[in-house]
Amino acid sequence: MSHKNVWLIDFVEGEYAVSAREWLAIWLVALMVGLGGCGTTIHPPLAKNASGIEAPYLIGPGDTVNIVVWRNPDLSMTIPVRPDGKISTPLVEDLPASGRTATQLARDIEKVLAKYIQSPVVTVIVTNFVGPYSEQVRVIGEAAKPQALSYRENMTLLDVMIAVGGITDFADGNKASILRSGGGKSLQFGVRLRDLVRGGDLSANVAMRPGDVLIIPQSFF
């Protein structure tokens, strides 16, 4: 065997020939793996729950749902979800919709309609998204437009700031905080809104979660 451009590595049980190019590739992979533990933290996709399964959209008060009953146009319509989280349609009264997925709501409507028509087939399409209160992101304090926002997949603090028009001139942006609840516990941590919005420092951008409350205090100076 020619030993030109080949390095020999001795192992306990024999020899393995590895070319210089292959050895360099192995070394680079090992280096990248080694540096992985000290790189920038990467947030997981926000639309996934703790088990790593994508969380479906849940209907909430204020949403608009388009209900289509196959072969029954007189029962098909577009209606808003009432503040109490329920909907009413012909033959279906006061049916809870808040906290249900579109598919779950369609099956619920089918169960009710089955009392009146044979084998109903229902499709529900959400056309105006607000979401249940537990899934919304609320912004209070010195935002240009304080409001409750419907949580969106991969939403970040920067997305929230764009939606509310940034912070006012009276805001103490770098003393803002996010109140996060989950699992029966509450966590409050600081965020640097002024650095993010006024300074363009993307390192101050953080991942948002459904139910987060962004609190922007007023500056006293």
CATH number, position 122 = 3.30.1950.10
Q: How many residues does the chain have?
A: 221
Are 139 and 153 in the same domain? Answer: yes
As to burial, measured by CB atoms within 10 angstroms (0-12 exposed, 13-18 middle, 19+ buried), residue 104 is middle
Are 143 and 120 in the same domain? Answer: no
The confidence band for 133, taking pLDDT boundaries of 50, 70 and 90, is confident
In the chain, the number of structural domains is: 3
Are 115 and 87 in the same domain? Answer: yes
Phi, psi for 189 (deg, rounded to 5):
-140, 150
- Quick check: is 189 in a domain? yes
Both tokens assigned to 214: 């962004």
Q: What is the mean pLDDT of the chain?
A: 82
Both tokens assigned to 203: 């390192």
- What lies within 8 Å, CB to CB, of 24 at 6+ separation is none
Final residue belonging to a domain, choices 84, 100, 128: 128
Average of per-residue pLDDT across 168-192: 94
- Quick check: is 117 in a domain? yes
Report which of residues 155 and 10 the model is more confident about: 155
Are 149 and 193 in the same domain? Answer: yes
Edge-to-edge, what's the strand order for the sheet holding 213-216? 147-150, 136-141, 213-216, 176-182, 185-191
- Owning domain of residue 143: 134-216
Are 21 and 68 in the same domain? Answer: no
The confidence band for 184, taking pLDDT boundaries of 50, 70 and 90, is confident
> Looking at residue 22, what is its pLDDT?
53
Of 173, 186, 187, the closest CA to residue 216 belongs to 173
Are 68 and 123 in the same domain? Answer: yes
Does residue 101 register a pLDDT over 80?
yes
Average of per-residue pLDDT across 27-47: 40
Are 118 and 147 in the same domain? Answer: no
Q: pTM to 2 decimals?
A: 0.64
> Looking at residue 54, what is its pLDDT?
63
| Segment among 40-44, 137-141, 160-164 with least mean pLDDT | 40-44
DSSP 102: H
Of 106, 98, 100, the closest CA to residue 68 belongs to 106
The SS3 call for residue 42 is coil
Average of per-residue pLDDT across 46-68: 73
Is 194:218 a contact under the CB 8 Å cutoff?
Answer: no
- Quick check: is 44 in a domain? no
Are 146 and 211 in the same domain? Answer: yes
Are 212 and 151 in the same domain? Answer: yes
Are 120 and 165 in the same domain? Answer: no
Is 124:67 a contact under the CB 8 Å cutoff?
Answer: yes
Are 164 and 181 in the same domain? Answer: yes
Both tokens assigned to 207: 């991942």
- Quick check: is 57 in a domain? no
Are 146 and 115 in the same domain? Answer: no
- Quick check: is 15 in a domain? yes
